[in-house]
Chain A
Amino acid sequence: MNLFTLIISLFYIVSSAFCANSELDKFERYQSLSRSTPIDLDDSLYEDLTSKPRNYHVAVLLTASEARYGCILCREFQPEWEIIARSWNKGPKPDGLRMLFTTLDFSNGKATFQKLMLQTAPVLLLFPPTIGPFAKVDDAPARFDFSGPISADQLYVWINRYLPEGPKPPLARPINYMRLVSAVTILMGVITLFTVMSPYVLPVIRNRNLWAAFSLIAILLFTSGHMFNHIRKVPYVTGDGKGGISYFAGGFSNQFGMETQIIAAIYAILSFSTIALAMKVPRVPDYKAQQVAVLIWVGVLFGMYSFLLSAFRAKNGGYPFFLPPF
C-alpha cells in the first residue's frame, strides 16, 4: 500500500512536471539569465519571451543607450530601471506573481523597433500573462511613453497599477556609500581647516560690516522679487517686438529677471542715501562740504524715488501718484 501511494505520487509529480515544462521552464530559464539586473534581450529572445502563452508578466524597456544615438533620456533612465529590477528581484514577492524585467537595446533589436513602428525611445511595454491565475482577457501590452525625465518611483507606481492587487516589494535605492564617505571626509576637512585657519578667519567672521552687507544684500534680493524669478523661471529680458529690449514686463504680477535687478539697485540707492543722510552727513565736520552732501543725497533720493514711482505706475495702470521729474 505504502509503495503504491509512493508510485502514484511519483507519477503525479513527473506528469505535472511534464505538463508545465514548457512555460515554467521559460520563466525560470530567463530568470536564471540574470538574478538581479534587467535581462538584456535581442530580437529573437524578445519574440520568444513575449510569445503566447505566457504565465508571467514581462516588462520590456525599449531603449537606445549607446552614445551614438544621442538619447539622453535613455541613458539617464538606465540606472533607475536597474533599481526597479533589483528591488523587485531581491524583495519579497507575493505567491505566484511572476514578473520579468528586461531591456531591449536598439542596437540588438532593430527589427523589433521596426515592427512596433517606434520612432522614439525609451518606451516601456508591460505584457500581462495570458494563462495562469493573473491572466487578462486583453493580452495587449500596456505602453508607457516617456514625456520627460521620470524617476524610478513614478514608473514603479505605474507598473504596480497593472499588476494584480497585493503587497509588492518596496522600491529600495542602494545606499550611496561613496557619497556618505565623501560627505564625512569633506565635513572633517572643513572642521580641520576652520580650526587651523581660525586666527585668520575669525576676524573676518566677526566683522560687523561683512554681516551688515550680507543681510542687506539678502533683504534687497528678496524684497525685489528674486524668489519669484527663481520659482517661476521668468526670462531675463525679452524683446519688445520692434527690435529693442523691454526691461519691464507688463502687468502687476509679472516681472523679468533684469527688471528685479533694476528694482533692487533702486532700493539699494534709496537705502544708501538714507543711511548717508542719517549717519554719514552729521559726521562731516566741514560746513560747506556738509551742505553740498545734503543737497546731493536729497537730490539722489528724490530722483530715484520719482523713478521708482514711475516704474510702478507703468506696472499698475490706475496708480495716481507720482513725483515731479519722471
Chain B
Amino acid sequence: MAETPVDALLQGSTGRNTRGLLRIIILLTIAAAAVSSRLFSVIRFESIIHEFDPWFNFRATKYLVQNGFYSFWDWFDDRTWHPLGRVTGGTLYPGLMVTSGVIYHILRFLTIPVDIRNICVLLAPAFSGLTAFAMYLLTCEMSISPSAGLLAAAFMGITPGYISRSVAGSYDNEAIAIFLLVFTFFLWVKAVKNGSIMWGALAALFYGYMVSAWGGYVFITNLIPLHVFVLLCMGRYSSRLYISYTTWYALGTLASMQIPFVGFLPIRNSDHMSALGVFGLIQLVAFADFVRGFIPGKQFQRLVTAMVVIIFGIAFIGLVALTLSGVIAPWSGRFYSLWDTGYAKIHIPIIASVSEHQPTAWPAFFFDLNFLIWLFPAGVYMCFRDLKDEHVFVIIYAVLASYFAGVMVRLMLTLTPIVCVAAALALSTIIDTYVLVSRGPGPQAKTNDGTSTEGLRSTRNPVVGITSYISKAIVTSSVVVYLLLFVAHCTWVTSNAYSSPSVVLASRMPDGSQFIIDDYREAYYWLRQNTPDNAKIMSWWDYGYQIGGMADRPTLVDNNTWNNTHIATVGKAMSSREEVSYPILRQHDVDYVLVVFGGLLGYSGDDINKFLWMVRIAEGIWPDEIKERDYFTARGEYRVDDEATPAMRNSLMYKMSYYNFNALFQQSQAVDRVRGSRLPAEGPQLSTLEEAFTSENWIIRIYKVKDLDNFGRDHGNAAAFERGHKRKRATKRRGPRVLRTE
C-alpha cells in the first residue's frame, strides 16, 4: 500500500496524538449535539421552568441562593401544607439545588451576572454533555474497540429515553442524577478492575453525591452488591473485589448518612440490607480464602466453606427476624411496588395515580430507544464472549433495568444508559468488522480465539474476516441508514414529544399558525397580584408546586405527597356536596379554590379526568362518606351529562368546573370537548363559593370562598334569597329539634 500523507498522521506517536485529538473533538461535538438538541423548548417558547416538580426545585434553589446554605438546611416551610407546614430542609434531596447554587456563586465570583433561573433552566442540558462523556469512559472499560465508547457517548447524547427527563427547563433531580449514576458505575467498574482503594473511594464519593441528588440511588445501592454477590457465586473472589467493595461500602454508607433525608436508613431499612449482607459475606469469604492458604488439607477446606455458608445462612435468618420484629423497616412502599406489582394499586393509591408509575407498553420502548432496543440484546450477548468482571456487571444491570423499565415508565431512565452501552458494543463490533478497508486479520491471526469449551457456541470457529468488498459496502451502507434514521427519529421525538413545558401549551390554528395557550401563568399571576400575600389556595396536589413557585401563595397540598390524610381531606372537599365541603374549607382557612378545566378547549389533563383519583384517595380515609361507586352510573359509566349521578352533580369539583359554562353557549347546549358529551341544560348553582377568576381559555378557574353570612343564614338559603326565590313555608313541618352535631 502506498504511503500517503494521511498515513503519516495515523501511525506512530504522531498517530496516537492525532487520534487523541480527534477523539476529543468528537466528544466535544457529541456534547454540543446533546446540549443543542435539548434547547427546542427554549427556542420555541422561552427560558422557563417546566412541569410540576421543577417548580419546587426552582423555589428551593432561590431560597438557597438568598438565605445561604445553613438556613436552607434547616428550612421549615410554612407556606405549603397549610396548616401543617413542611420540614423542607430535612425532607428533600439537596444535591440539585446545591449544585446550581455552587455554579451560581462561581459565575458570580467570575463576575458573570447570570440569573439563577437561567442556570436552573440550562442545568439539565449542560449535565447531559457530561453524561455523554461519562458514558464514553464507562463503555471504554467494557471494550477494547476504540469506536464503542464514542458510539455509546453519541447514543446517550441524543437518545429520547434520556432527553425526556433532561430538556432545558426540566429542572428535576434526574437532570444531574443520570450523570452521577453513569459516572459512579464507571468508577465502580474501574475500581473492580484495578482493585484500587482510590477508585473505590472515588466511587463512594460520587455515590454520596448521587444519594444527595435522587431517591433512585437505591438502584446503585442494590446493583453493586448484586454484582459482587454474583461474582462470588461464580467463584471469582479476588482481593481486587474485596478492596473495592469494602472501600465503597464503608465510605459510601457514611457519605449517604450525611443527608438528613436519608439519615439512618442505610442501617435500618430493608432497601439497603443487601449491601450490608454482601459486606458481611465478603468478609467471610475473605477470611476463608485467607485460612485456606494455611490449611492444606482438603477436609479442612471443605469445613471452612461449610462454615462460611452456615454463618451466612444464620446471618440471613437474623436479618429476616430483625425485619419481622420491626427493628429493620420493611421495604419502602415505592420500592416494594416494583416487585409486587399489584401492591400500590391496593395500598397506596397515591402512587398508583401518578401517570409515570404506570407499566410500559412496547411502543414506549421503541419510541424512547429506537433501533437501540434491538441492538441491546445483541450487545448483551456479546458480553458473554469475554465475560470479565465488568461484563457481568453489564449483564446484571441489563436484565434488572429492563424489568424495572417494564414495570414503571419512569424507570426507562435507568435502562437507557445500559442500552446505550450494549448497543454500542454490538454496533462497534459490526463496524470494526465491516468498515475496515484492508482484508482483515486473515485466518492465521486468531486461531486461539474461542477454541475452549468455556466460550459461546458462536465463537468456536476461528475468525477469518470479511473477504468481499461488496459485503462490506452493503453492511456499511445499511448501518449508515439505520444511524441516520436514528438521528432523525431522536430529533423528531424530542421536538414533538419532549419539548413542551406543559406550563405553556401550544396548539395549531386551522390555518397552521401556532397558538400559544398561556392560561396557567395568567391565572397564577392573577393570584399573585390580586390576592393577599397569605391567602390560602386549595387545589389538587398536582398544582401545589406551581402555585408555590409562580403565584407564591400558601397551598394545602403539593406534589411532595408526604401526608396522605391531608391529600384525602382535599379530595373529600372536592368530591363532597357543598354543605359538607364548606366546613372543611373553613377549618383549613381556605380563601381560594383553584380547579383546572379543559372542557372548552379539549385539554384532557384536567381535574374532572383526575377526579376519580380524588374520590379514591378520599375513600381510603373516609370509606363511609365517599364511595367511588356513587360517581358511576348504574351501568358503570363515568358521565358528566344528564345521566351523571347525583353524587357527581352535587360534588364541589363538578360544580366548580361547569359553573356558568352554559352561558358561553347562547342558544345551543353546552358541550364538554374532553368527555365529548352534552351538558345538562341547567348549569350547577354554587352557594358557598363565588367565581373570582377564569382564565382566557377557561383552563384555570379560581373561586373565592364566601365568608359566613351576615344574617347567620346558611349559604344555600342566602343564595336562594338572592336569586329571588321566596323562602319556602315548609319549614313548619320540620321534625323534633335535635342537637346540632359537628
Contact = CB atoms under 8 A, between A and B. Distances in A.
Nearest to B465: A282
A291 B470 contact: yes
Given A223-B373, A259-B362, A294-B475, A283 B406 contact: no
B163 to A, nearest CB: 17
Contacts of A232: 359
Contact of B461 (A222, A283, A302): A283
Contact of B458 (A252, A268, A279): A279
Given A279-B458, A319-B492, A321-B485, 8 more contacts: A212-B384, A223-B373, A225-B406, A279-B459, A283-B458, A283-B464, A294-B474, A295-B474
B464 to A, nearest CB: 5
Nearest to A255: B361
A62 interface: no
B377 A227 contact: no
Contact of B466 (A224, A226, A275, A282): A282
Contacts of A323: 481, 485
Q: Majority SS of interface residues in chain A? A: helix
A30 B619 CA distance: 37
Interface stretch (A4-12, A50-58, A127-135, A308-316): A308-316
Given A275-B382, A280-B458, A255 B362 contact: yes
Contact of B361 (A211, A220, A225, A281): A225
Max count, chain B CB within 10 A of own CB: residue among A259, A277, A320: A277
A231 B342 contact: yes
Nearest to A218: B399
Nearest to A259: B362
B363 interface: yes
B471 A278 contact: no
B287 interface: no
4 smallest A-B Cβ distances: which pairs?
A: A227-B406, A225-B362, A270-B374, A294-B471
Contacts of A216: 377, 380-381
Given A279-B429, A290-B471, A271 B378 contact: yes
A285 B366 contact: no
15 contacts: A209-B457, A219-B377, A225-B362, A227-B403, A231-B342, A253-B358, A255-B362, A271-B375, A271-B378, A275-B458, A278-B430, A283-B464, A298-B474, A316-B363, A319-B492
B413 to A, nearest CB: 15
A142 to B, nearest CB: 10
A62 to B, nearest CB: 22
Interface residues of B, number: 67
Given A218-B399, A222-B406, A294-B471, A278 B359 contact: no
A228 interface: yes
Contacts of A259: 362
A53 to B, nearest CB: 23
Interface in A262-277: 263, 266-268, 270-272, 274-277
Contacts of B407: 227, 231
B361 A254 contact: yes
Interface in B355-369: 358-367
A260 B366 CA distance: 12
B89 interface: no
B324 to A, nearest CB: 12
Contacts of A298: 474-475, 478
A222 B402 contact: yes
A230 interface: yes
Contacts of A231: 341-342, 359, 407
Given A219-B377, A298-B475, A228 B361 contact: yes
Contacts of A319: 492
B468 interface: yes
A269 to B, nearest CB: 9
Nearest to A161: B624
B456 A219 contact: no
Nearest to A249: B361
B363 A315 contact: yes
B159 to A, nearest CB: 14
Contacts of B365: 223-225
A18 interface: no
Nearest to A291: B468
Q: Majority SS of interface residues in chain B? A: helix
B322 interface: no
A256 to B, nearest CB: 10
B577 to A, nearest CB: 22
B471 to A, nearest CB: 4
A44 B362 CA distance: 62
A263 B364 CA distance: 13
A310 to B, nearest CB: 12
Interface of B: 341-342, 358-367, 371, 373-378, 380-382, 384-385, 387, 395, 398-399, 402-403, 405-407, 426, 429-430, 433-434, 440, 443, 454-459, 461-468, 470-471, 474-475, 478, 481-482, 485, 488-489, 492, 496, 624
Interface in A10-53: none
B362 A263 contact: yes
Chain A interface residue count: which class? Answer: 35 or more
A226 B399 contact: no
A190 interface: no
A291 B362 contact: no
A101 interface: no
Contacts of B382: 275, 278-279
Nearest to B428: A278
Contacts of B429: 278-279
A172 to B, nearest CB: 15
A305 B375 CA distance: 12
A45 to B, nearest CB: 31
B478 A302 contact: yes
Nearest to A157: B623
B313 to A, nearest CB: 11
A209 B462 CA distance: 18
A228 B359 contact: yes
Contacts of B465: 282
Nearest to B234: A206
Given A209-B456, A219-B376, A321 B359 contact: no
A274 B434 CA distance: 12
A281 to B, nearest CB: 7
A226 B376 CA distance: 17
Given A223-B406, A279-B459, A271 B341 contact: no
B120 to A, nearest CB: 31
B492 A321 contact: yes
A321 B362 contact: no
Nearest to B434: A277
Contacts of B367: 252, 312, 316
B459 A252 contact: no
B406 A291 contact: no
Max count, chain A CB within 10 A of own CB: residue among B429, B440, B456, B471: B471
A118 to B, nearest CB: 20
A301 B375 CA distance: 11
A133 to B, nearest CB: 19
A260 B406 CA distance: 12
A318 to B, nearest CB: 8
Contacts of A278: 378, 382, 426, 429-430, 433
B623 to A, nearest CB: 8
Contacts of B374: 266-267, 270-271, 274, 305, 308
Nearest to B395: A215
B360 A227 contact: yes
Contact of B375 (A161, A268, A274): A274
B466 A230 contact: no
Contact of B463 (A208, A230, A282): A282
A214 to B, nearest CB: 9
B352 to A, nearest CB: 10
B482 A305 contact: yes
Contacts of B496: 318
A301 B398 contact: no
Nearest to A268: B377
B233 to A, nearest CB: 10
Interface in A239-255: 252-255
